[in-house]
Every structure is written in structure tokens, then in C-alpha cells.
Amino acid sequence: MKAYQTHRFSASKIVTKFFILICVFTANHVAAQTVIEKIVQEETKNSQLQKLAHELLDGIGPRLVGTPQMKKANDWAVDKYASWGISARNEQWGEWKGWERGITHIDMLSPRVKSLEGTQLSWSPSTKGKAVKAEIVIIPDLSDSLAFVNWLPTVKGKFVMISMNQPTGRPDDNWQQFATKESFDKLKKERTELTDAWRKRLSKTGHSSRMLPIILEKAGALGILTNNWSNGFGVDKIFNAYTTKIPTVDIALEDYGTLYRLVESGDNPIISIQTDSKDLGTVPNFNTIAEIKGTEKPDEYVMLSAHFDSWDAGQGATDNGTGTLTMMEAMRILKLVYPNPKRTILVGHWGSEEQGLNGSRAFVEDHPEVVSKLQALFNQDNGTGRIVNISGQGFKYAGEFISRWLAAVPSNMKDSIKTTFPGTPGGGGSDYASFVAVGAPGFSLGALNWSYFNYTWHTNRDTYDKIIFDDLKNNAMLTAILVYMACEDNATFPRDKVDLGNNKLTGQPILWPAQVKAMRKGPIAPTN
């Protein structure tokens, strides 16, 4: 009887418990469904991405570290967040050479008149309000560094071309489509030989490619002409200058080739360059951080992450305007549909990623309280495409957690995502690596390529028109859902790492990537 009664009591208790469990599960499930449905609904019906893209990319423009545009973007983001009721701040992490791009004119005056397509390199000196006219010399193919020293005085009062002349301005896929196999093979062979010969020519000067412009500047050259073709129609990659007194300009392949051939044929072209950039001393650099405070576990964090800075020949649209906009839009939506998250939601819009993940590395150094309690960080930084790759970055339980979070994502967004678990830890490439290096769960949301590396990455064509807004909408929703799921997860992400095995060549154990210190002051001038 007693036993029976006990049994009956337990049975009813179990039934009750089971019922409660079902209710809780259903309630949670319904709550999750509702939040996810609301995320999708908000982005589908009320996307702000185009408006944000226009304000940031057309209005403010590119965001090179040290420029007033970078600071303007920092302030714009803080204001935007405030308008959505999200608290945001600019956190100083370092300082950089202050510089502002101005008007550039590059013109051929002889043997005929033509305005040339070119771009002053980032942080390049100006021509101090003057148009500088001069002849051009090409770095010659000399026997050794002694011959170079003897030749060097001839650069005085001239512009110097230091890049090779490309044998074609057509991208390979164009050759693939139209050329005979013989002529495409011939082109590739010729290009390999030319590239190899040019590398030897430069190395025989005895100087690195970074040091060479400085040596030419010291010898009295009036400016440096480069061409950094990006293997597509009309695209060049534009990085920083190394000269400190004379301008360095990239001339587009078509015009660079024309000048190069005219110099070689003895037609002695004369060009005029005026670059009106401004040096602005030393300026502070910031990360923009925004926050939606957690309710149950406010000292645990789920982070959205994307670098805010860019190179500055285009608008920094796909590197990394699109990652920036994805994270801002996801934050806007989360604040609307999930205003009281279980864990604190933070977004990091990092400065100076392009010069070595500097903003995010500084944040990792400055905020151990966040890094030690990080549940997950989602970074996006490889262009405008739909997110199709997620790796577990070598964390043992990443598969279990990320799969659970992804399970809540509607199938049209998740079906094309390839996951790799546990994966291997990324040592660089973008800001998630700053977190992975200290064993904190940073993940990269890898996007479809959309010809990123040739056409937009660090190029003069990285502009608004290259954005695929449908893909960006997808990414904003996906990020918001992953953040929501990571916030709600009852379990804390365990930091156990997988055994990375041994290097096949050396037999030595593969090590977890090491933490690298942020460069807090820049840029650093090359010394060799």
C-alpha cells in the first residue's frame, strides 16, 4: 500500500514534471520561434541596409586609419546606435599619423596631352600646392647594388617607375573565354618570366621594395610611380606610400603601360603631378563599441564583430563596409525584437584592422573582463556575399554549440552553410583571430566570394555599387539569430581546444596561434 501510494505519488509527480517540462520547452520554443520570426520580418519589411550604406559609403566615404573620415564614421555609428536606443561609445586604443586625401591631378603633357588615371597612395606626401612637371625613368636592369649606387644620381629631378609593365590588362577568365590555348599558354609563360625578371631587377638594387622608394626620394626623385594591378579590368590595389617628402602615386595599368612604352621607345614623356593631401599631425584612433545589457548573466558576452576601417582608394564598401553594416543592422533588429537578452550583447567596430588587427588586438588587451566571459564572437570580413562557411576554429565543442544555434536558423539561410568542426584556429586574416589567439571563442562568418580578391578587396573599385543587398539582408538576419541563440543558451561555451596534431613536414606539434600585441602607434617606417 505504502509502496503503491509512493509509486502513485511518484508517477503523478513525474507526469506533472513532464508536463511542466513540456510547457517550458514549448514556451521556450515558441519564444524562440517568435523572436526568430520577428528578426526575419523586421529585416524583410524594414531593412535599413541601403540607407546605412549610402550614409556611410557615399556620405562619409573610405575609412583609412588616421583620417578625419574614420573619426567621422566612429561618430556617425555612435549617433546611429543612439537613435536606435542602443548605448555606444568610441574607445581610444592608439594613435596614428593624421592624414587627409585631397585633390589629385596626374596629366601627361608630352608627347601628347592626356589626363591620366591614377591614385595617390595612402598617407603619401603632397606636392605642397604645386603641380610638379618632369620626365620619367624606369628602374633599370643593372648588374648589382654597386651599379645601382652609380646609377642613382640620374633620378634627380625625375619621376621613377618602379613597377613592371603588365603584358595584359585583361583578366585571366577573359583570356580563358576567347584565346586559343596556345596564345593563353604563351601569355602565362611570358608573364611568369617578366614577373620573375622584375623581381630580380629590384632585388639587384640591394633594397627591399619598401625601402626602394625612400632611397629614390633621398637621391632627389620628384615622385614614385607604381602600378599594383589587381588582375581584373580597370582595378588596382592601393596601399600606403613609404616616401616621406615626395608623392607616390599608383597609375592605372592602361596609362602606366602607355608611359612605360613611351619611356622605353625614347619618346621621353613628360607628366605633371599635383597631390593636395594634408598631413594632420598625430591623431587618436578609436574602436566603436555598442552594447545591449544582459539581464540574467550581464557579465557574460556575445559579440558581433567587423572592422570599421578600410583602405581608401574606393569606399571600403565590401572591405569592410558590408561586415560593418551587417553587424549594425543585426544590432538594430536585436534591440527591437530582443531588448532584454540573457547575456550582454556587444558589437566591436574595430579600427586599423588593415594594418594588423590593431583595434581588436587592443580590445583583447584592454578588456580581459569581456574576453574571459565571452560566450561567442561572430566576425564577418570577406566581402558582400551570403555567409556560406563557419569553422569551429579548433574548439573541441564548437560543433555541438554552433550546430545547436544554427538549428534555429530558417533553412533558406542555413542550407548552403558548410560547417567545419572542430576546424583549425585561424591565426590572422581578420579580427576573430585576435580572440582565438587568447583561447576565446571567436568565429568567422565566411561569405561567398563575388570576385572579392580581384575586384574589390583593397581596390579603387570597392564601392557601393558592388554590394549585393539581398545577401547582406541574409547575413544580418543570420547574425542576429546566431547572437540570439548564443545569448539564450543555458550552457557556457567550453574553451577546450582540440589536439592540432603534428606538422607533416617537421614532425613538430602544431601550436595554437600566439597572441600578437596591438600596434598602438603608426605607421612604422621601414628600416630595410
- Least spacing, CB of residue 450 vs Zn ion, in Å: 14
The stretch among 189-197, 200-208, 312-320, 401-409 that binds Zn ion (CB under 5 A) is 312-320
Interface residue with Zn ion among 42, 381, 471, 488 (CB under 5 A) is 381
- The smaller minimum CB distance to Zn ion, of residues 43 and 319, is found at 319
Is residue 309 at the binding interface for Zn ion, with CB under 5 A as the rule? no
Residue ranges of alpha helices (H) inside 312-430 are 322-337, 358-366, 368-371, 398-407, 411-414
Using the 8-state DSSP alphabet, how is residue 152 labeled? G
Q: φ, ψ for residue 338 (rounded to 5)? A: -145, 60
The stretch among 145-153, 273-281, 373-381, 518-526 that binds Zn ion (CB under 5 A) is 373-381
Cell matching residue 247: 608623392
- The smaller minimum CB distance to Zn ion, of residues 431 and 488, is found at 431
Interface residue with Zn ion among 320, 344, 380, 393 (CB under 5 A) is 320
In the chain, % helix, strand, coil (3-state, to 5) comes to 40, 20, 35
Burial class (CB in 10 A: 0-12, 13-18, 19+), 396: middle
- Least spacing, CB of residue 446 vs Zn ion, in Å: 13
Interface residue with Zn ion among 42, 217, 236, 319 (CB under 5 A) is 319
- The smaller minimum CB distance to Zn ion, of residues 329 and 354, is found at 354
The stretch among 203-211, 289-297, 318-326, 364-372 that binds Zn ion (CB under 5 A) is 318-326
- Least spacing, CB of residue 311 vs Zn ion, in Å: 9
Q: Binders of Zn ion among 33-62, rule CB under 5 A?
A: none
- The smaller minimum CB distance to Zn ion, of residues 73 and 485, is found at 73
Cell matching residue 268: 621621353
Using the 8-state DSSP alphabet, how is residue 512 labeled? P
List, as one string, the DSSP characters of 398-456.
Answer: HHHHHHHHHHTS-HHHHTTPEEESS-----SSSTHHHHHTTT--EEEEEEP-TTIIIII
Query: CA-CA distance, 349 to 286, in Å (whole number)?
Result: 9
The stretch among 296-304, 320-328, 338-346, 464-472 that binds Zn ion (CB under 5 A) is 320-328
The stretch among 98-106, 182-190, 315-323, 385-393 that binds Zn ion (CB under 5 A) is 315-323
What are the b/e assignments for 492-524, b being 16+ CB within 10 Å?
ebeeeebeeeeeeeeeeeeebbebbebbbebbe
- The smaller minimum CB distance to Zn ion, of residues 272 and 384, is found at 384
- Please give the helix or strand (H or E) that residue 190 lies within, else none: helix 181-203
Interacting residue ranges for Zn ion, rule: CB under 5 A? 319-320, 381
